[in-house]
Amino acid sequence: MPTSKKIGLILGPLFFLIFSNLPFELVSEKGDMVIAVALWMLFWWITEAVSISVTALLPLLLFPLLKILPIAEVGANYGSPIVFLFFGGFVMALALEKVNLHKRIALNIIRLTGTTPNKVVLGFMIATASLSMWISNTASTVVMLPIALSVINLLINDEDGFTKNDQNFALSVMLGIAFSANAGGIATVIGTPPNSVMIGLLENEYNIEISFLKWMTLGLPFSIVLIAITYLVLTKWMFPNRDLTFNASKEVIRTELQTLGPTSGKEKMVLFIFGVTVFLWIFRTLINKMVPGLGLSDTMISIFAAIALFAVPYNIKKGDFIIRWNDTSKLAWGILILFGGGLALAKGMSASGIVDLVANTIAQSEISILFTASLLILLMLFMTELMSNVALVAVLAPVVAGIAIGLNIPILYLLIPVTMASSCAFMLPMATPPNAIVFASGYVKVPQMARVGIILNMISVGLLILVFQFVVPLLF
């Protein structure tokens, strides 16, 4: 075990013991206990001394023992509607991957964008981002990487060898895949876990609902702008591939599509269920108005999709279904527990008066709203380079909500851009799984990723400040 993990393993419980036995009160008796639990979780989350999902179970044990909240109230957070919204999303992603539909979609997008070097980079980025909106950013990167490596290998084995232009192209493709996987997830509620943690907090604590469509009206344009800027930074500024021409990439795409064969019945079935689900998510509000009393929610639609994929037979005689329960061994169950832990921690912070204390402290200060928002966006974005973004949002979101109340601005105005910042980590391989995956390919070195990443991080901060100042107040 690395030294950092050993230190984290000890420091977590140690700080818990210190803060739970202080001879004076920081906030209140309950508040100090919640801070002690939060510090334990924070140390284990930052160092990943134990699985971040196991750490998320601590409130379920400690909150009832410390008389912060009864176990039924803590446990309810682990079964929150938002957890099941993501469960349905995971099942859909599982079906897309099982029938190889995600790969077919990606290949066709790349084929449509063209085969000149910059267009190939753009094709990979659009394909990865499109997948990342619906399946995990890890899965979308894993799908794209082998296809990208096939194209790069053509350049390595051509007549002039692996030239500087070739290297620039390889870097643009690799970093383009990683960064667009990160940015693509911002576009939808189910695209990346931090979005759901925030939406769950708003529903659980403040009775504020953000629909799937409402989120997309902000998330999708932001993703498109960020991906367009990333493309320009990579291909026009940092790693230009001037005078590079190759047509063989067209062959790679054609070969990959031929390997997949014609679209199967199962793919069509999954595509149909997927299409119906997205349609219901987008037009849910309209459907509810047309059918009074229906009360259709995004979570109900998500569960409908999951049940349909399990229960609608592809071949009733053979008992052949799209997915079976044993397929769910590949499901990211740990992330669902992580949601629950984050929501439970938020509930503890709220119930013990910590959020109120933060709100009152901010209200009494003469702090600038724009400066505070900019500082929080910057803090979230650069902290997420070093620790899990979903764990970070779980800890900071309730505090940010308290700051928004203290500043006397709507919670959404501050919480949305700060949460979005957690998905804009472009600097380091350990920041996100896509960064780590492309780094492991061997074509990207840490200084190269960091050099582009710092530029994109600062551009993201600027964009998110604009979102805070102008876009969120307009939409929400």
Asked if the structure places residue 42 within a domain, the reply is yes
**Residue span of the structural domain in which 45 resides:** 1-50
* Per-residue pLDDT reduced to its tens digit, 206-226: 999 999 999 999 999 999 999
Q: 28 and 125 share a domain?
A: no
Asked if the structure places residue 156 within a domain, the reply is yes
- Residue 324, C-beta contacts closer than 8 angstroms, at least 6 positions apart: 310
Asked if the structure places residue 394 within a domain, the reply is no
The dihedrals phi and psi of 315, each to the nearest 5 degrees, come to: -140, 100
Asked if the structure places residue 162 within a domain, the reply is yes
- pLDDT at residue 378 in the model: 94
Q: Over 80: is that where the pLDDT of 109 sits?
A: yes
Mean pLDDT of 446-465: 95
Instruction: Using DSSP, state whether 80 is helix, strand or coil.
Output: coil
- pLDDT at residue 243 in the model: 67
> Are 333 and 382 within 8 A, CB to CB?
no
Q: Over 70: is that where the pLDDT of 473 sits?
A: yes
Read off the DSSP letter of residue 264. P
Confidence of residue 308 (pLDDT cuts 50, 70, 90): very high
Query: pTM for this structure?
Result: 0.89
Alpha-carbon separation of residue 408 from 359, 376, 403 (angstroms): 9, 16, 9
Q: 36 and 91 share a domain?
A: no
* Per-residue pLDDT reduced to its tens digit, 362-414: 888 888 999 999 999 999 999 888 888 888 999 999 999 999 999 999 999 99
Taking alpha carbons only, the member of 240, 244, 235 closest to residue 158 is 244
Q: 22 and 125 share a domain?
A: no
Confidence of residue 78 (pLDDT cuts 50, 70, 90): very high
> Are 475 and 216 within 8 A, CB to CB?
no
Q: Which of 5-14, 35-44, 150-159, 263-272 is predicted with the least confidence, judged by mean pLDDT? A: 150-159
- pLDDT at residue 165 in the model: 75
Instruction: Supply the DSSP string of 365-421, one letter for each residue.
Output: S---HHHHHHHHHHHHHHHTTTS-HHHHHHHHHHHHHHHHHHTTS-HHHHHHHHHHH
**The two three-digit tokens of residue 251, written as one number:** 């062959």
Mean pLDDT of 142-156: 83
Q: 101 and 180 share a domain?
A: yes
Mean pLDDT of 7-31: 91
Of 280, 311, 330, which residue constitutes the final position of a domain? 330
Overall domain count for the chain: 2
Q: Over 80: is that where the pLDDT of 247 sits?
A: no
Q: List alpha helices for 241-264, DSSP H.
A: 248-260
Q: 7 and 145 share a domain?
A: no
- pLDDT at residue 363 in the model: 82
Q: 9 and 148 share a domain?
A: no
Q: Which of 5-14, 146-155, 261-270, 276-285 is predicted with the least confidence, judged by mean pLDDT? A: 146-155
- pLDDT at residue 244 in the model: 66
Q: Which residues pair with 313 in a beta bridge?
A: 321
Taking alpha carbons only, the member of 82, 195, 135 closest to residue 421 is 195
Q: 9 and 113 share a domain?
A: no
Q: Which residues pair with 320 in a beta bridge?
A: 315
Mean pLDDT of 428-434: 88
Confidence of residue 164 (pLDDT cuts 50, 70, 90): confident
- pLDDT at residue 157 in the model: 64
- pLDDT at residue 211 in the model: 92
Asked if the structure places residue 91 within a domain, the reply is yes
Confidence of residue 268 (pLDDT cuts 50, 70, 90): very high
Instruction: Supply the DSSP string of 412-444, one letter for each residue.
Output: HHHHHHHHHHTT---S-TTTSHHHHHHHHTTS-
- pLDDT at residue 26 in the model: 86
Angle at the Cα of 444 from the Cα atoms of 190 and 134, rounded to 5 degrees: 15
Q: What is the distance between the alpha carbons of residues 78 and 29, in angstroms, rounded to a whole number?
A: 25
**The two three-digit tokens of residue 103, written as one number:** 């790969």
Q: 103 and 225 share a domain?
A: yes
- pLDDT at residue 158 in the model: 59
Q: 319 and 231 share a domain?
A: yes
Q: Which carries the bigger pLDDT value, residue 460 or residue 257?
A: 460
Taking alpha carbons only, the member of 119, 143, 115 closest to residue 129 is 143
* Per-residue pLDDT reduced to its tens digit, 314-344: 887 777 889 999 999 988 898 899 889 999 9
Q: Which residues pair with 51 in a beta bridge?
A: none
